Amino acid sequence: MPKINVYLPDELAEAVKDAGLPVSAICQRALEQAVRRVTAIRETVVRGMDIDESSGRLAHFTPRSRQALRLGVERARAEGAGAVGTEHLLAGILAEGQNLALHVLRAIDIEPAELERDLGGPPPTTSSGGEEPIRFDGTAANALELAVTDAQAFGHNYIGCEHLLLGLVAEPDGKAGQLLRARGAEPRLTRRAVASALAGYVHLKAQGQTQAQDPAQLVAAAVRRELHPLVERLERLERHAGIADAADTPEDGR
């Protein structure tokens, strides 16, 4: 039987040992379930009505995340792609234009317009595929599965664009994840930013402050408040290493 190594954080490894859990059996069941879900997503034939249906595999997607998926599928068709990839899912999130994922990206200093340029700009104006059936490729299926997993980890019974963003960032092989991570959207930082944005927005909404303020500003404020200690720590480390002083020194005495 083939062997696959599973690496755990030290604290989790100690907790597993203390609990005496059957690691192999648990991992096998979890992997079996994940493989079935990813395979089901990968084999899903997407048509216009499939995304709009309120039942089936996309039942828990929010209206905005459905629209992002629809726009991603349309982009894949317009480009004549054989399948929907992670780059198309990211393009769909960007094209939707009003979702929480975009506010989170801006809050961690990533401009959606820059990502759009990374993806090659707007899609072709004419579609080469019409309404022909199309499937998600392996990386897109993995990203969608990771989005579902993140939503469950947050305790949410829905899948929004913020969960799609986390899935794209965490998926290791897709083009979207590579572009996002190159821009600074590291998985742990992005997950923390999403958690902060959700918590901050809900808190302000409960206080009745969301009507008079721009949601993007509210999200940015919540995320930056949460990340401020981390930024300060990095700045202290840079100062200690002399990086900041070197960067601030004018060239050629100017």
Per-residue pLDDT of the chain (254 residues; tens, 9 = 90+): 777 777 777 888 888 888 888 888 888 877 777 677 666 666 665 655 456 665 556 668 888 998 999 899 999 989 988 899 999 999 999 999 989 899 889 888 899 999 999 998 776 655 544 567 788 898 998 999 899 888 888 888 888 999 999 999 999 999 999 999 999 998 988 998 888 888 755 444 545 544 445 555 555 555 555 555 554 555 566 566 664 444 443 344 33
* Overall pTM surpassing 0.75 (yes/no): no
- So what's the architecture of 43-194 in CATH? Orthogonal Bundle (1.10)
- Compute the distance between CA of residue 19 and CA of residue 26 in angstroms, rounded to an integer: 13
Q: What is the pLDDT of residue 16?
A: 83
Q: Which contacts qualify for 122-130: CB closer than 8 Å, 24 or more apart?
A: 123/74, 123/75, 123/78, 123/79, 123/91, 124/78, 124/79, 125/78, 126/78, 127/74, 127/77, 127/78, 128/77, 128/78, 128/79, 128/80, 129/76, 129/77, 129/78, 129/80, 130/77
- pLDDT at site 45: 56
Beta bridge partners of 167: none
Structure tokens at 38: 């990813």
